[in-house]
Amino acid sequence: MLQGARHVHISSLNKASRECKIPIKIVELRTSLELLNQDIDALIIPGGESTTMRLTGNSPSSLLLPNLLDWLRNNSNIPVLGTCAGAILLADPQDGKGPLINASIDRNAYGRQINSFQAEVMTKLFDRTFPGIFIRAPRFNSDVPSENIVATCGDEVVGVRKDNKIALTFHPELSGDVAFHRWLIEQAKTIMEG
Ligand code: GLN
């Protein structure tokens, strides 16, 4: 909750929870203490500005980012949805410990804000199309192993999965379609029951 399109994720999670009839409790994380003092079963890393997230998340009053990255490495089964800037943090954590997904990524690869666009995405995860909203989006490089690809837009890879972590270069929370949020909740439930 340090920066970016985070409040829309909360309403999307609530809508997804109603749709799949799985009750949820949403915990807002701003500091490392908030992360370490609760049981977290799934995580969303929102879109926004990854530079700002790195600055605020590494500031002494938060320290959320380095602790979150370590926590993710120690809990590799936790379902995670990283969108846009969130995908950048997963692919390029810059903490000297290597990426959390099997992909490298380029920031602002489609150009400036004016080059933001909407386009239909095809997702293997739900075997259907999904409305893709790309806002000053990053771009995965062509080094993504095919088994890790979960979403494409034309020839481009726009969604990557490793274990239970999904990184998308678009903003599903702005589309009104909460399929990815449902996936996150259902995945967390499966793991909790497993
Ligand atoms: N341009 C942003 C960045 O580099 C990402 C944009 C977004 O999250 N919508 O962090």
- Distance (Å) from CA 182 to ligand 1 centroid: 23
Per residue in 155-186, pLDDT (tens digit) is 999 999 999 999 999 999 999 999 999 999 99
Does residue 73 belong to any structural domain of this protein?
yes
Owning domain of residue 188: 6-193
* Dihedral sign of CA atoms 75, 53, 125, 183 in order: positive
Share of the chain above pLDDT 90, in %: 95
Considering the candidates 9, 156, 173, 181, report the single residue annotated as catalytic: 173
Does residue 36 belong to any structural domain of this protein?
yes
Residue to mutate (ligand 1; options 6, 108, 113; most atoms within 8 A of CB): 108
pLDDT at residue 143, as a whole number: 86
Per residue in 36-84, pLDDT (tens digit) is 988 999 999 999 999 999 999 999 999 999 999 999 999 999 999 999 9
Q: DSSP readout, 5-24?
A: SHHHHHHHHHHHHHHHT---
Does residue 40 belong to any structural domain of this protein?
yes
Does residue 15 belong to any structural domain of this protein?
yes
Q: What's the pLDDT band for 194 if we cut at 50, 70, 90?
A: confident
Count the domains in the chain: 1
pLDDT at residue 131, as a whole number: 98
Average pLDDT of the chain is 96
CA quadruple 20, 26, 30, 31: dihedral, nearest 10: -110
Considering the candidates 9, 153, 156, 171, report the single residue annotated as catalytic: 171
Is 153 one of the annotated active-site residues of the chain? no
Residue 85 is part of a domain; what is its CATH number?
3.40.50.880
Is 84 one of the annotated active-site residues of the chain? yes
10-35 average pLDDT score:
97
Does residue 1 belong to any structural domain of this protein?
no
Per residue in 53-65, pLDDT (tens digit) is 999 999 999 999 9
Q: What's the pLDDT band for 142 if we cut at 50, 70, 90?
A: confident
Does residue 149 belong to any structural domain of this protein?
yes
